[in-house]
Structure formats: structure tokens, C-alpha cells
Structure 1
């Protein structure tokens, strides 16, 4: 399948774009980026140098994915999601001189397979959002999110667990240190560590 790049997009010759991927109006894809197959990159998206993005990823309008962020397969990133990559950002050094690339410490962020980030959420750097997790719109995520976790709020807190289909999971039975949860819609069973399950607020 052909790669589709809108004429207004700026895509570096040093970026790798997978088959079937679409890059829409006014995007900027910088050198060293790897975009997987069958991705959909919405209007005004900025992908910083060296960012790695998996297959079947959907990034909605006006998202900036900064250096140090890794996005695995099947992730959904809603419009205006904000990533960061520096825990102590400053424009200048204490002596007033402009900061250079060597004057800051990169904090890496990983968004794991199938996770979904709601519109206008802010993702603090240095955390991992687990497989099939879901972040509510407008949330400020400041800590790791477990697999299948549903978080929302400011700061975002773990509120429940969701299936890969997006529906709620409910405790079915225990297997040792695991809670076996059942999806209320598709009847899928998901195993979640009991300690994590019991941390829901």
C-alpha cells in the first residue's frame, strides 16, 4: 500500500514511513523518526527527531510527540494531547545564557500497545502507560498507568479497569495473587495483579 503525504506536510528524507501510512495537512516529521505501517497522522501533528511509532497508530490533530517518546502498536492519541520530555525545563542557564542541547536531561516516556489517550490530556515525561490503558480527556498523568487501567482527573488517578474493547472490567474470581476480571460486553477475561486491582480509588 502506498504512503500518502499531503503536499503541505514536511517529512524528512531521513524519516522511515511504513506502507499504508497517511500524513495529513501541515504535519512535520523530523529526521530519524520511524512511523510504522497503516498509521494515520492528523492535521498539524509534530513528530520530533528520533521518535519511534509502531504500526496501526492513530494520532489526531495538533499533537506534538517530542524526542524521548516511544509509541507502540495500535495506540490512539486524541487531539491536542501534550507530551513533555524534560522534568526541569528552563530557557536559560543560571548565568542567563541560553540552554543548549547539552544542558538538559531527557526523560523518556513509553505508551504501550493498544493504549488510548483522550483529547487534551497531558502526559508527564518519564512514565509508562500500560497496554490497553485508557486516559480520560483533559487528564494530567503524572505517574505510571497499569495495563488496562482507566485514569482521569488532575492529577489523574486510577479509577477502574477496561477491556481491550474499551468496556469496563469487573472482578470475576481470584487466582492466587491475580484478580481475573471479566468484560461486561465481550466476556473476555483479563488477569490483573490483585495489589494493582485493589489500588483503585
Structure 2
């Protein structure tokens, strides 16, 4: 399986791109980027020199994955969502030495037009709603809504909202997969089969 690269895409020398990845119209991948297997980069995507994209991620149109952003396996980035790399940017002040690292854990979904402020960690299988602005760390499986984003619920690995309180002791079954989840305090985890 080879890498598909649209003729309009620019991939700088040195970029590492895994097998089966697809790079669409007007994409620019910088030479230091590391991209896993089976990744899709939609139209107009930019990938920086110190960006890392895990296997089977899907990056929709017009998303920039800047330096110091790491996406683990299976992350979905919706159209025109935004990562920042400097907390307090100013055009007249060079702050390239102040880039903050952003980590998006396995299976997370970042909705269209949401913003992820640099320096945060998005938990595994978390779901950030369209238009939300994330300014602090997000727990695994959390559903985040609003500006600034606040937790509004819990999500299964399948992407189904689970009928659980935000905190406490409870168990629930995902209606689509039959997988069991346990809430303990303010942490949700999948119960091994």
C-alpha cells in the first residue's frame, strides 16, 4: 500500500508519512513532520515541522497541525478546527521559543470550528463539540461544549453519549456496542470484557 499524494500537495523533503495515507488538494507537509499509517489529510491542511500525527487520524479541510501538537492514533479533527501554539500571541513580539505542547489522546474527536488552546491535553475518546473553545485539560471520554468549554457528559469509544452524571458512582452499557463503562468519582473507564 502506498501513499496517495494529490499533485497540488507540497510535501517537503524529510517528512515521514506512513503507508496508506492520503494527502489531498493544497496540503503542505513540512520536512520534520511525522505522520502515521492510514492518515487522511483533507484539502488545505498544514502540518508543521514538529507535529506528530498517529495512525488512522482524519484531518478534515483547512486545519493546521502546528509545531508541538501531537495526535495519537485515531484522532478526528473536524473542518476548520484550530490549534494554537502560543498562549498570548502578539504580532510585534517573537514568541516562537514559547510554544506550548498540546496532546490529543487516542480516539478523541475535535468538532468543526472548535479551538484547542495550546498546552492542554485532550483525553482518550473525548468529544469536543463544534465551536467549543478548550482552555484546560479534558478527561478521557468527556463531552465538552461551549465557550469556554465545560464538561456536559460522557462519551463511549463508539462516539455515543452515555447516560451518566458528571461525577459519582455508576455503570452504563453503550447502546451500540454493549461495552460496559464504570464511573468512579469524576473518571470514566471501560470495563474489560
Conservation of the 8 A alpha-carbon contact between 1:61 and 1:79: yes
Tell me the residue number matched to 1:96.
Answer: none
For 1:137 and 1:100, locate their aligned partners in 2 and report how far apart those are by CA, in whole Å: 29
Structure 1 segments, 4+ long, off by >6 Å, are: none
Instruction: Count how many residue pairs are aligned between Structure 1 and Structure 2.
Output: 187
1:29 alignment partner in structure 2: 29
Across the aligned residues of Structure 1 and Structure 2, the Cα RMSD in angstroms comes to 1.9
Structure 2: tracts of 5 or more residues without a match: 189-193
In the TM superposition, 1:20-169 aligns within 5 A as 20-93=20-93, 99=94, 101=96, 104-169=97-162
Counterpart-to-counterpart distance in 1, 2:118 and 2:184 = 25
Gaps of 5+ in 1: 94-98
**SS, match of residue 186 in structure 2:** helix
Higher Rg of the two aligned structures: 1
Q: 1:178 and 1:5 mapped to 2: Cα distance?
A: 49
Q: Output aligned runs, 1:162-181, within 5 Å.
A: 162-171=155-164, 179-181=170-172
8 A Cα contact 1:116 1:132, kept in partner: yes
Distance, in Å, in 2 between the alignment partners of 1:118 and 1:194 is 27
The one of 165, 180, 183 equivalent to 2:174 is 183
The secondary structure found in structure 1 opposite 2:163 is strand
| d(CA) in 2 for partners of 1:40, 1:183 | 28
